[in-house]
Amino acid sequence: MLLHAIDATEKGAASLCIQSPDTDVLVLDLWKYTSLCEETSLVIGTWDKSRSIPLGPLYNAVGGRAATASPGFHACSGCDQTGTICGKTKISCWNALA
């Protein structure tokens, strides 16, 4: 999905909507946000409980440094394939990172 979004941006797309219920996709989208068009949003959730999250304001709030570190952080602090670090929550790990 992300490679297609980057390709669409390179070909002149002015806005993008990426749809996925998975937080892994959000992490990767933030990581590569500077390669995506400014009006990129992520649609999360399913059916009637979906919502659109504009990535620009989220990227600005998190900051480029944290967005760059987010894939490694997400992989080590618990994602689909890994557990947590010694029972630490993702929030406590994020606070230590920030």
Q: HEC profile for 1-19?
A: CHHHHHHHHHCCCCEEEEE
Question: Which residues are paired to 53 by β-bridges?
Answer: 42
Average pLDDT over residues 49-67: 93
Looking at residue 14, what is its pLDDT?
A: 96
Question: Which residues are paired to 41 by β-bridges?
Answer: 17, 54
Q: For residues 44 and 26, give the distance between their C-alpha atoms in angstroms, rounded to a whole number.
A: 9
Q: State the total domains in the chain.
A: 1
* Domain that includes residue 66, residue range: 2-97
| Whole-structure pTM value | 0.75
C-beta separation of 24 from 80 below 8 A: yes
pLDDT tens-digit readout, 7-49: 999 999 999 999 988 888 998 999 999 999 999 999 998 878 8
